[in-house]
Amino acid sequence: MFDAHAHLSAQPPADHPCSGWILPGLDAAQDAANAPLASDPRVHRAVGLHPWFLPALDALPAALDALEIRAAGAVAIGETGLDTLSRAGPPDVQAAAFRAQVALAAHRGCPLILHVVGRHGACLEVLREVGFPEEVGGMVHDFGGSAEVVAEWIAAGFMLSISPRSFVDRDAAAGVIRPDRIAMLARIPRDMLLVETDEFGIDRLPVVIDAVSRALDWPVPDVAAQTARNARRLFRLV
Ligand SMILES: [Zn+2]
7 in any annotated domain: no
Q: pLDDT per residue over 208-225, tens digit each? A: 999 999 999 999 999 999
CA of 27 to the centre of ligand 1 (A): 12
Domain of residue 198, CATH code? 3.20.20.140
* Residue ranges in the chain modelled with pLDDT below 50: none
- Contacts of residue 185, Cβ cutoff 8 Å, sequence gap at least 6: 162, 166, 177, 193, 212, 215, 216
Q: pLDDT per residue over 201-212, tens digit each? A: 999 999 999 999
DSSP 137-194: -EEETT----HHHHHHHHHTTEEEEE-GGGBSSTTSSS--B-HHHHHHHHHS-GGGEE
CA of 24 to the centre of ligand 1 (A): 6
Q: How many independent structural domains does the chain possess?
A: 1
6 in any annotated domain: no
| pTM of the complete model | 0.96
In terms of residue numbers, what domain contains 137? 18-234
10 in any annotated domain: no
Q: What are phi and psi of 30, to 5 degrees?
A: -75, -30
Give the span between the Cα atoms of 55 and 16, in whole angstroms: 36
Partner residues linked to 83 by β-bridges: 117
CA of 221 to the centre of ligand 1 (A): 25
CA of 199 to the centre of ligand 1 (A): 7
11 in any annotated domain: no
How far, in whole angstroms, is CA 61 from its chain's centroid?
A: 24
